[in-house]
Amino acid sequence: MAEVEVGSEALSPTVKALGVVSLFADVSSEMVYPLNPVFVTRVLGAPAWALGLIEAVAESTASILKVYAGRWSDQAGRRKPFAVGGYALGAIGKPLIALATLWPHVLAARFIDRLGKGLRTAPRDALIAENCPPESRGRAFGFHRSMDTIGAVIGPLIGFLFLRYYLHSNGLSAIRSLYWLAFFPGVLSVLAIALFVKERRSVGTGGGSPFSLPSLASVSPALRVYLLIVAVFSLGNSSDTFLLLRARDVGLNENLLLLLYALFNVVEATLGYSAGKLSDRVERRKLVAAGYVVFALVYVGFALVTGPTAIWLLFPLYGLYYTLTQGVQRALAADLANPDRRATEMGLFHMTVGLAALPANIAAGWLYSLHPAAPFALGACAAIAAAALLLAFPLGRRGDLAAA
């Protein structure tokens, strides 16, 4: 698809609108996400390994579908319909959890929720990339992540205030009510993208089955190396629910988990846009490597933590890891992707994360049952290895391995 030429001084209306969409979607998701461990293990009485299985299936579903959704989007020459459908499924997932009486019900609801994420992410990311010039790509993705994260600050704060007034009088059943409340900002995200996001329909790539995976031989050597490095890191990057479970297990009160999660997201909401702009001026891989190192330090902290006080220091530092990696990783994937197959190849990036998430979360659930520090030790080692590999292999923005 052709790039849309947009002046570097202002973000396009499409990029801004997609930021608003993600803000509402994250208000919906993050209003309840920090309470998933409490809901599964306390309200439903499930063991830690069930939580690991739920997150493994949920995140893997999302990431694996992203490559197929990206391929369908490239073939159809459309982005918006996939994004609208994806945000709609994400909204539906919240009330389904509220109705759950057994942990397999939560598994099914999380599957539907993440099915939506898988459907929307690669087409939406391609839409962002196609509505900004390459020299402003980091800034565009940084803006989108900042808006996303502002929603991730607002959502837990709403949840915290809701539970503060209703948890004591209604017990843990108040958590179910919060899942119902989270449905409404999800609906707003669907309305926002349907009404305000515009796209110029392009000629699709056509040809081939949308259910077939793209060949790795067709992507650039630099993108293949990048995907390998991302896989190494992701094998140790289990779901954030284990950080929240660890926080609760060392003494943090359940309703404070929402406040803690809001604090964590404040860091990225404040610095994410600046990190994206910085990545337009320096090598993106170096920022990502720095983020992996921060991740390793945080995971070492979670392995050693013995009380709730340290948790309040570790979560903001974890927000710095998100700041340095989330938008920048996607911008780097967009740099290395073929413009004619951008959604497909960005979907490959997300699929790599998803394939690694399955063993990462199952292992984390099992290791946590053996010793709470074990999954965090594994994550720290994987992050250091990935950072070393990123620094060892310079990646050119046009898809070639740059000279060291």
Phi/psi at 119 (5° precision)? -70, -35
Distance between CA 397 and CA 43 in Å, rounded?
48
Please indicate, yes or no, if residue 7 is contained in any of the structural domains: no
Range of the domain at 139: 13-199+216-392
In a domain, 74, yes or no: yes
What confidence category does residue 205 fall into, taking pLDDT thresholds of 50, 70 and 90? low
What value, to the nearest 5°, has the Cα angle with vertex 389 and ends 376 and 367?
20
CA–CA dist 72, 56 (Å, integer):
24
pLDDT of residue 390: 94
The count of structural domains within the chain is 1
User: For residue 60, is it within any domain?
Assistant: yes
Contacts of 340 (CB under 8 A, 6+ apart): 1, 74, 205
Residue 8 lies in a domain: no
CATH of the domain at 160: 1.20.1250.20
Q: Report pTM.
A: 0.74
pLDDT one-digit tens code per residue, 359-395: 898 899 899 989 999 999 999 999 999 999 999 987 7
Q: How confident is the model at residue 22 (pLDDT cuts 50, 70, 90)?
A: very high
Report the range out of 33-42, 59-68, 160-169, 343-352 with the highest average pLDDT.
33-42
pLDDT at residue number 6: 40
> Considering the domain boundaries, does residue 120 fall inside one?
yes
Look up residue 251 and give its amino acid. G
Burial (CB count <10 Å: 0-12, 13-18, 19+), residue 312: middle
Alpha carbons 398 and 334: distance in angstroms, whole number = 10
- Within a domain: 314: yes
pLDDT digits over 66-108, tens only?
Answer: 778 888 888 888 889 999 999 999 999 999 999 999 999 999 9
Residue 404 has pLDDT above 50, yes or no: no
The answer to whether residue 247 sits within a structural domain is yes
Q: Which tens digits make up the pLDDT trace of 275-303?
A: 888 888 888 899 999 999 999 999 999 99
Cα→Cα distances 301→69, 71, 295, 296, 382, Å? 37, 40, 10, 9, 15
Q: Is residue 204 part of a domain?
A: no
Mean pLDDT, rounded, for 130-153: 86
Tell me the pLDDT band of 210, cut-offs 50, 70 and 90.
low
pLDDT over 80 (residue 304): yes
List helix spans (H) across 77-220: 80-98, 103-129, 137-170, 173-181, 183-196
Contact (CB, 8 A) for 9 and 162 = no
